[in-house]
Amino acid sequence: MRQIEAAQVTQAVKAAAIAANYEPGADLLAALARGAETEESPSGKEIFRQLLENARIAKEERIPMCQDCGLAVVFAEVGQDVRLVGGDFDQAINEGIRQGYGEGFLRKSLCHPLTRANTGDNTPAVIHTEIVPGDRLKLTVVPKGGGSENMSRLYMLKPADGLAGIKEKVVTAVQEAGPNPCPPIIVGVGIGGNFERAALLAKKSLLRELGQANPDPEVAVIERQLLEEVNCLGIGPSGLGGRITAMAVHVLMQPCHIASLPVAVNIQCHASRHQEVIL
């Protein structure tokens, strides 16, 4: 058994939360630069340029990329040969979020659902823990903005709806979202599993390097077709009209019940933030 201290977890989560908000990934920067080149609409091109400039300022001037520093989603892959000592795992993660959002001058965006009173420190995080082989601990901090999360949808389709039904729902979700989720977006799609698994698949698909195809060729084809259809909508950057509404569509698929066809669409704005650490 390899021992990992809870304090190490806190430290790692804190650093990742800060880095995610200030340092856009190379994949995102490349996609924005490509967009500035290829977008046909003049206003869309200008938005891509602004977003590149925004990313530069965020990193150099230490201002978060977006004022919505997100609800902190944390994916934890815990090696089965890891033993956590010196504290409670979820508490250690939440402490990292508390410290990162405090010391990193990040916005605290969590509140009581009914009174709307702010929790003050951006906790609790939404934590997804998985046990995997090995003696490592992988933590991925994903700050997720409210604007794009609000435009996400879950559909329980009939098996007869098939691939055509799935496509129709994905396109409808993006169309209804329109300018609201800060396009250019990334569309995360979860197909199969059950009610909660489809949503988790959709969210997980967003962790993949931007624009990398699903390794399964059958799914990769669906991704390509969906991207094309979504980009026919004409919403464009900031919703001002243009060819690039989505920079990518990522799909994850798994078997489902013989009676069901769950489909989740998790919309990710261009402020696609995820930071991974391995302990």
Partner 1 sequence: MAKTVKLTSPLTDQDVLQLNIGDTVLVSGVIYTARDAAHKRLVDLLAKGEPLPMDLAGQIMYYVGPSPARPGRVIGAAGPTTSYRMDSYAPTLIKMGLKAMIGKGKRAVEVIDAMKAYKAVYLGATGGAGALISQRIKAAEVIAFPELGPEAVHRLEVEDFPAIVINDCQGRDLYEQGVREYRRTAAR
Residues that bind partner 1 (CB under 8 A): 40-41, 43, 47, 50-51, 53-55, 57-58, 61-69, 105-109, 116, 118, 120, 145-147, 150, 164, 171, 178-182, 228-229, 232-236, 238-243, 269-271
Q: Which residue is nearest to ligand SF4 (CB)?
A: 145
The residue within the footprint of ligand SF4, chosen from 122, 140, 148, 266 (CB under 6 A), is 148
**Is residue 271 within the footprint of ligand SF4 (CB under 6 A)?**
yes
Nearer Cβ to partner 1 (205/238): 238
Q: How far is the CB of 180 from ligand SF4 (least distance, A)?
A: 8
Partner interacting with residue 47 (select from partner 1, ligand SF4, none; CB below 5-8 Å by kind) = partner 1
- Per DSSP, 161 falls in state G
Residues 6+ apart with CB under 8 A from 116: none
Q: What's the token pair of residue 207?
A: 């962790």
Q: Please list the helix, strand and coil fractions of the chain in percent, rounded to the nearest 5, in that order.
A: 40, 25, 35
- Cα–Cα distance measured from residue 3 to residue 5, given in angstroms and rounded to the nearest whole number: 7
- From candidates 16, 66, 71, 125, binder to ligand SF4 by CB under 6 A: 66
- Based on the shown chain and the rule CB under 6 A, indicate whether residue 147 belongs to the binding site for ligand SF4: yes
Residue 75 CB, nearest distance to partner 1 (Å)? 23
Residue 17 binds ligand SF4, judged by CB under 6 A: no
Which residue's CB is nearer to partner 1, number 159 or number 234? Answer: 234
In sequence order, what are the residues at sequence separation of 6 or more whose Cβ sits closer than 8 angstroms to the Cβ of residue 98?
A: 121, 122, 123
Q: What does 260 bind: partner 1, ligand SF4, none (CB cut-off 5 to 8 Å by kind)?
A: none
Cβ distance to partner 1 smaller for residue 250 or 270: 270
Q: Which of 76, 97, 182, 219 contacts ligand SF4 by CB under 6 A?
A: 182
Please state the closest distance from residue 275 (CB atom) to partner 1, in A.
17
Q: Quick one: 102 or 147, whose CB is closer to ligand SF4?
A: 147
Distance CA 116, CA 45 (A): 38
Query: In the complex, what is the shortest distance from the CB of residue 31 to ligand SF4, in angstroms, rounded to a whole number?
Result: 14
* Spatial contact of 121 and 42, defined as CB atoms under 8 Å apart: no
CA distance 173 to 187: 10
Asked if 269 touches ligand SF4 (CB under 6 A), the answer is yes
What is the per-residue DSSP string for 176-237? HHTTTT-SSEEEEEEEEE-HHHHHHHHHHHTTSPTTPPPSSHHHHHHHHHHHHHHTTS---G
Query: Does residue 217 have a cis bond before it (omega within 30 degrees)?
Result: no
Q: Token pair for residue 54?
A: 């925004």
Q: Using the minimum distance from each CB to partner 1, give the nearer residue, 105 or 195.
A: 105
H/E stretch holding 55 reads helix 42-61
- Alpha carbon distance 179, 199 (integer Å): 22
Nearer to partner 1 by C-beta: 69 or 201? 69
* Residues of the shown chain interacting with ligand SF4 in the complex, contacts defined by CB under 6 A: 66, 68, 145-148, 181-182, 269-271
